[in-house]
Amino acid sequence: MPLTFAFDVYGTLIDTAGITQSLERLVGDQAGLFSSRWREKQLEYSFRRGLMQDYVDFSICTREALEYTALQLNLPLAEDDKAALLDAYRHLPVFQDTADALNRLTQADHRLFAFSNGLPDDLESLLATAGIRDQFIDIVSVHEIKTFKPNPAVYQHFLQRSGATADLCWLISSNPFDLLGGQSVGLHTAWIQRSQANLFDPWGRAPDLTLDSLAELPESVNRYSCTT
Quick count: other Cβ atoms within 10 Å of Cβ 109? 9
End-to-end CA distance of the chain: 13
Q: Active-site residue 8, yes or no? A: yes
Q: Is the peptide bond before 120 cis (omega within 30 degrees of 0)?
A: no
Quick count: other Cβ atoms within 10 Å of Cβ 75? 16
Quick count: other Cβ atoms within 10 Å of Cβ 187? 24
DSSP 152-211: HHHHHHHHHHHT--GGGEEEEES-HHHHHHHHTTT-EEEEE--STT-----SS---SEEE
Active-site position among 8, 57, 97, 178:
8
CA distance 90 to 5: 23
Q: Is 54 helix (H, G, I), strand (E, B) or coil?
A: coil
CA distance 141 to 61: 15
Question: Which residues are part of the catalytic machinery?
Answer: 8
